[in-house]
Amino acid sequence: MEERWQKLMDAFHFEKNASTYAQFVKMYGEKHRAYHNLNHIKDCLDQLDAYEHTIEYRDIIELAIWFHDLIYNPYKKDNEIKSGEAAIQFLKKQNADTFTMDLTYELILSTLHIEYPKNGSEALLMDIDISILGRSDNEYEAYTKKIRKEYKWVPFFLYRQKRKEILHKFLERKRLYYTDFYFNKLEERARINITRELQELG
């Protein structure tokens, strides 16, 4: 992972920023993170690598992946905003151009998954972020257990209510995945997984 970070810095012609990588390891390694940790970031990067089409602004999408869950407090609702702000602070120190800063910030905010993607870059990142929904039965079950662990402080009856609301919102969408690549690859399985979880939640 560190080597990959260094290659990304080289692609932007930034400094090595080894201290920033060390900060990623520290923050993504926080004890309350069962799912939103460095393994999730690695999985997202693997998904980006597996995307079988030409990607515009690929390096910026990858940078957004690194930062998109940097701030994660299950008690708060502004994690994406604060993660985006952290990315902007980093980019300002690198004297990045305005376009890179703006797109990175907007990409990170798109992972709130409350609005339709404004462009292909957002569509791809949003699909990558929820690609776990369309994985195998075992992978999906492990994911749900990790999410519940992150919210273990929430009484089950309340967790079940909120979780069901989120899952129903996904099912109500015309399509879960906005890129044809992920739609064709994961859409059907994701809907099966979500439906099964709803049945298990009761």
36-64: pLDDT as tens digits? 999 999 999 999 999 989 899 999 999 99
* Domain final residue, candidates 114, 129, 144: 129
Judgement on whether residues 107 and 25 belong to the same structural domain of the protein: yes
Q: pLDDT tens, 115-132?
A: 999 999 999 999 999 999
Domain span including residue 63: 1-129
Question: What is the pLDDT, as a whole number, of residue 52?
Answer: 84
Cα→Cα distances 75→153, 193, 194, 201, Å = 10, 26, 24, 22
Q: Do 118 and 141 reside in the same domain of the chain?
A: no
Sign of the CA dihedral running 59, 121, 69, 38: negative
Percentage of residues of the chain with pLDDT beyond 70: 100
Q: 83: number of CA atoms within 13 Å, CB side?
A: 28
Do 125 and 137 lie in one domain? The reply is no
Model's pTM, two decimal places?
0.96
Q: What is the pLDDT of residue 34?
A: 98
Q: What pLDDT score was predicted for residue 201?
A: 96
Count of CB atoms within 10 A of residue 153's CB? 9
Number of other residues whose CB lies within 10 A of the CB of residue 1: 14
Q: What pLDDT sits at residue 35? A: 98
- Same domain membership, residue 122 and residue 176: no
Question: Please, what are the averages of pLDDT over each run of 10 residues along the chain (202 residues)?
Answer: 97 97 98 98 97 93 98 95 98 98 98 96 98 98 98 96 97 96 98 98 92
39 and 106 together in one domain? yes
Q: What integer best gives the mean pLDDT of the chain?
A: 97
Other beta carbons within 10 Å of 194: 19
